Amino acid sequence: MPDRQYYRSLHRSMAFTVVLVSLMPLALITLIGGYQYTEIYKGRVMAHLEEIVHKHEQNIDTYLLEKVGEIRVLADNMGVDCFLDEGKLENLHKSLMKRHGGGFVDLGLVNSYGIQVAYSGPFRLGLADYSQSVWFREVQKRTVYVSDVFLGLRGVPHFIIAVQFESEGKKWVLRTTIDFVAFNQLVENIHIGRTGLAFIINRRGEFQTKPRIDLSAEVPFLRELLQKATTDAREEGSFALKKARDMVVSTIAPNPLTGRETIFLSTPLKQGDWLLVYQQDSADAFSDLAQTRNLALVVLLIGVIAITFVAFYLSKRMVKRIIAADKEKEMMNEQVIEAGRLASLGELAAGIAHEINNPVAIMVEEAGWVQDLLAEGIDKNGNTDETKRALTQIRTQGARCREITHKLLSFARMIDPTTMELQLNELVEEIIGLSNQRTKYANVQVETELARDLPTIAASPSEMQQVLLNLVNNAVDAMEKEGGTLTITTKRDKDDVLMTVADTGCGIPRANMQRLFDPFFTTKPVGKGTGLGLSIIYGIVNKMKGEISVNSAVDVGTAFTVRIPSAAKTGVPSDENAEERG
């Protein structure tokens, strides 16, 4: 029976296999499903954010166009005299303030020299000189101009909408300042999650709104982002450039301010002069995904723990059953070996019966002959001597019987399975002696090639006898019809002992080779073979950690080779100990 280490290893490998087989699909499903889910979820979130940013951009554009439109209408329809009259200008300004909730901070008329000739608003900017202002130069080129945010003459952030118009052959500019705070609130109106933040930058990377947190550290990165977007669009051609002006561009990159991975969405405003940027921490934007992932990991972990526990529990139970089955099998094996021993003994007995019956027959006939002589008269001529001869013959034949029965008993008594050190050559000689009668009548010539330097082996003498006797019986059976040669060879192979029992008999058909060592498989006639011989040999040899192999060719012969580790290799108990046990 295998040792505890074997069962421990079996337990571990079974548990490991069950865990592996169970977890592999679970892990694959989790990984593939998780990856797919993550990609789809991220895609959805990004699409959703792009949609929001796009709509927000439209709101801001609408806001600016609305303001531009108001000033345009005034410039085209009111006439320069109306603007030059400060009272009327003030009324117009108040009317705009009323309609737009204070969006228009002031309203002014600037002549072609850049001098504000009329003004309505909270600052004292009458006759202010804007001839050097950027917005004044730009409006002369474009007719309508929305400026960047700047501090200007008033020293507070603001931006200007300026519209150029002609009246009485002169060019005028109607300008208004937009309420920066209101515009800032409009821009910052999209506030998603904890970290969602929108702002506007111009082409130089200058903030056009005032973000609620200081983002100055992000400026180089934003400039780079802006430049890259522009370069990419230019490289892809004019169509791409136009498309880029309408589209929301998304980038996921580490935030230089926080170091965290951040989603940046940008879309152009004011015909590409400004860029609306929306940024949000990835972790914040994908927080639901993280929660789902954590939940999946917890479920996976619970699954792993449950599978591992079940695998170990089940394999432990299975190993217990295997141990019980092995014990049962070992008991069965012992019983089969014993049955086989008796069976081989039976085969031997049949041969020995012939051996005994012949001398017994002689004794019976000699006794009858003496009776014949006595009936005739013991004193008749020569009868006394004949009687003496007959008695001597009876004694001789009796001694012959005694020798045979002693041999048989010595074999039958050896049923002890205790392993001890024994010399295989001696056993071979003994078995040849026992099988002498069988081989003689089967016309089988026995040859031996026994190695002189054969090391001893660790085996039970009775079991080893059984191995040898079964092999010899099989060999003789194979040659029974036509006779032949039985060759028993022993030799040393490193630390092993090799014993070959070869015959020149009928051989084993290839079809039977596979089943040769199966219990109860026999090709002998009913009642002649039990089919246990070779399975017993296999069991015994296996128990000794040996091997048995067979070479056979039909009508040529068969050779069984048994490899048994030497006593030195297996570390057999010494003879002394064996004797103590005996």
Partner 1 sequence: MSEMDIKVLLVDDEIGFTDVMAKRLSKRGMTVKVAGGGTEAIQALRGDDYDVALLDLKMEDMSGIEVLQIFKKMVPNLPVIMLTGHGSEEAAREGMQHGAFDYLLKPCEFEKLLEKILAAVKRSE
Contacting residues toward partner 1, per CB under 8 A: 349-350, 353-366, 368-369, 372, 390, 393, 396-397, 440-441, 443, 527
Do 499 and 561 meet the contact criterion of CB atoms below 8 Å apart? yes
Q: Closest separation between CB of residue 537 and partner 1, Å?
A: 25
- Helix axes 4-77 and 180-187, enclosed angle (nearest 10): 150
Alpha-carbon distance of 445 to 473, in angstroms, equals: 13
Cβ closer to partner 1: 143 or 405?
A: 405
Alpha-carbon distance of 299 to 285, in angstroms, equals: 23
Cβ closer to partner 1: 263 or 479?
A: 479
Q: Closest separation between CB of residue 441 and partner 1, Å?
A: 5
Cβ closer to partner 1: 105 or 362?
A: 362
For 303-343, the three-class secondary structure string (H helix, E strand, C coil) is HHHHHHHHHHHHHHHHHHHHHHHHHHHHHHHHHHHHHHHHH
Q: Closest separation between CB of residue 394 and partner 1, Å?
A: 10
Distances (CA, A) of 435 to 44, 113, 411, 416, 477: 90, 140, 12, 21, 12
Q: Closest separation between CB of residue 351 and partner 1, Å?
A: 9
Cβ closer to partner 1: 365 or 430?
A: 365
| Chain centre distance of CA 28 | 9
Closest by CA to 344, choosing from 423, 434, 426, 428, is 434
Distances (CA, A) of 573 to 151, 503, 526, 562, 576: 106, 35, 42, 22, 8
Q: Closest separation between CB of residue 436 and partner 1, Å?
A: 12
Cβ closer to partner 1: 155 or 377?
A: 377
Instruction: Give the strand pairing for 116-120 and 104-110.
Output: antiparallel
Q: Closest separation between CB of residue 479 and partner 1, Å?
A: 13
Do 163 and 72 meet the contact criterion of CB atoms below 8 Å apart? yes
Cβ closer to partner 1: 133 or 439?
A: 439
Q: Closest separation between CB of residue 381 and partner 1, Å?
A: 14
The residues, any chain, with a CB within 8 Å of residue 114's CB and separated by 6 or more, are 129, 130, 131, 132, 133, 136
Beta pairing partners, 421: 458
Beta pairing partners, 269: 274
Cβ closer to partner 1: 63 or 369?
A: 369
Q: Closest separation between CB of residue 555 and partner 1, Å?
A: 21
Cβ closer to partner 1: 237 or 368?
A: 368
Q: In what order do the strands lie in the sheet with 274-281?
A: 197-202, 274-281, 261-269, 249-254
Do 68 and 143 meet the contact criterion of CB atoms below 8 Å apart? no
Instruction: Give the strand pairing for 484-493 and 444-450.
Output: parallel
The DSSP symbol for 270 reads G
Q: Which residue in the block uniquely carries the two structure tokens 């929001």? A: 52
Cβ closer to partner 1: 403 or 575?
A: 403
Q: Closest separation between CB of residue 382 and partner 1, Å?
A: 12
Q: Closest separation between CB of residue 486 and partner 1, Å?
A: 16
Cβ closer to partner 1: 308 or 358?
A: 358
